[in-house]
Amino acid sequence: MARVCQLTGKKVMVGNNVSHSNRKTKRRFYPNLIDKRFYLPSEDRWVKMRVSASALRTINKIGVEEAIKRAKQKGVFSE
């Protein structure tokens, strides 16, 4: 399973570890992903999604159905 948020599209970023002597080695920045089940009352079923912590805050604020609708409009949502 890829490390990508299904609602926001956040994925792994690449950068450098920088030591005290200023040597640079490659590293990866992983998104803060959480596997979570959400209930969709309109479809009367549970859906399992892998979302970032920031997407979880958005879902708490606007609701899961609205968040999915917005993600589909952006072209990010993957089922």
Q: What is the pLDDT of residues 27-69, one digit of tens each?
A: 999 999 999 999 999 999 999 999 999 999 999 999 999 999 9
pLDDT at 78 over 80: no
Q: Which residues pair with 17 in a beta bridge?
A: 25
C-alpha distances in angstroms, 6 versus 20, 27, 66, 67, 70? 37, 23, 14, 11, 12
Q: Which pTM value belongs to this model?
A: 0.83
Q: Name the architecture of domain 13-74.
A: Roll (2.30)
Largest interatomic CA distance in the chain: 58
Q: Three-state DSSP class for 76? A: coil
